Amino acid sequence: MSALSHAPQTDSGTRAPRSSAAPSTPPGVLARLRRTNAPGALGGLVWLLIVLVPVYWVLVTSLRTREGFFDANPLAVPTRPTLENYRLVLDNGFAHFLWNSVVVTAGATLLTLVVSFLAAYAIVRGTSRALRWTFSVFLLGLAIPLQATIIPVYYLIAKAQMYDTLGAVVLPSAAFAIPLTVIILVNFLRDIPDELYESMRADGAGHWRMLWNLALPLSRPALITVTIYDALNVWNGFLFPLILTQSPDKRVLPLFVWSFQGEFTINVPAILAAVILSTLPTLALYVLGRRQLIGGLTAGFGK
């Protein structure tokens, strides 16, 4: 039976005229259209171009020769790309300075995590008024600029006979990373239900067992967050390595790029190749943990 036989009829028995309107849009499409923020999408696209164009320029310029840098369209892909600039960077001790940065970053980040996690647990689970004041002291640490303390830090490092060592960079870097790390971990640990702690306490668990078997596993997203954040800050740190070290073999990658720029001032492609090589480790770290980074930073702030 055809579809026309099912058309509704009027009281006189004639068929009702078919509507001339176009077929309706699916509800899901309409909902997505209503949620579309056209100005926001346009602004995001503009911002994406603002970010990507310099990155693209740095990449294509690092593949040019020194002579080709001056006589070519800056945004055009080089007709004869070369990796000679990267070889030049690697031949100037890049691997050694990369290792120094890895040692400093790993040492400072590990020290920050251990101290901050213990302090955050004590603040959350402690009941004394002194611990509350301790949290206020960590909040106050966010207001102290790093540049304002460089002279006292230099004096302390010199008195401790640690000047011109990698440890001289590790300790102050960790000290300035602890306040924000404690705040992030405190907000995350406060989201753990008290019932879990009470159930473990009923089983005879002490604070160290609850710290290791309960707080640590549940705090994994926050720990990954602060690890990435602190590692990026220490990796890109410039002031402490500049002031607290002197020997060329104690340089980290930011100092290496700075000295490399002074040595090869007119070789812009080689300088940009050094910038790209020094950025790759942090870029890989961010890509691997970007979800945990955002999730951990926003934990606890919605309450």
The answer to whether the beta carbons of residues 161 and 244 sit under 8 Å apart is no
Does the pLDDT value for residue 7 go beyond 50?
no
Is residue 83 assigned to a domain? Answer: no
Number of folded domains that form the chain: 1
Is residue 193 assigned to a domain? Answer: yes
Whole-number mean pLDDT of the chain?
81
Q: Packing angle between helix 167-189 and helix 129-141, nearest 10 degrees?
A: 120
Q: What is the pLDDT of residues 272-290, one digit of tens each?
A: 899 899 888 888 877 776 6
- Reduce the DSSP state of residue 15 to 3 states and report it: strand
Assign 4 a pLDDT band (cuts: 50, 70, 90). very low
Is residue 264 assigned to a domain? Answer: no
The answer to whether the beta carbons of residues 286 and 101 sit under 8 Å apart is no
Q: What is the pLDDT of residues 55-108, one digit of tens each?
A: 888 898 888 888 777 776 777 888 888 889 899 999 888 999 999 999 999 999
Predicted local distance difference test score (pLDDT) of residue 164: 92
Q: What is the pLDDT of residues 124-171, one digit of tens each?
A: 887 777 777 888 888 888 888 888 899 999 999 999 999 999 999 999
CA 286 to chain CA mean position, Å: 5
Predicted local distance difference test score (pLDDT) of residue 32: 60
Is residue 184 assigned to a domain? Answer: yes
How many other CB atoms sit within 10 Å of the CB of residue 235?
Answer: 22
Is residue 254 assigned to a domain? Answer: no
Does the pLDDT value for residue 19 go beyond 50?
no
Is residue 196 assigned to a domain? Answer: yes
Q: Could you give the C-alpha distances from 121 to 124, 126, 158, 177, in angstroms and in order?
A: 5, 8, 33, 17
Does the pLDDT value for residue 22 go beyond 60?
no
Predicted local distance difference test score (pLDDT) of residue 171: 94
Give the span between the Cα atoms of 236 and 179, in whole angstroms.
18
Assign 26 a pLDDT band (cuts: 50, 70, 90). low
Determine the structural domain holding residue 179 and report its residue range: 107-234+275-297
Q: In percent, how much of the chain has pLDDT > 90?
A: 27
Highest mean pLDDT among 127-141, 167-181, 252-266: 167-181
Is residue 65 assigned to a domain? Answer: no
The answer to whether the beta carbons of residues 197 and 125 sit under 8 Å apart is yes
Is residue 200 assigned to a domain? Answer: yes
- Quick one: tokens of 221? 């997203």
Instruction: Assign residue 193 the CATH number of its domain.
Output: 1.10.3720.10
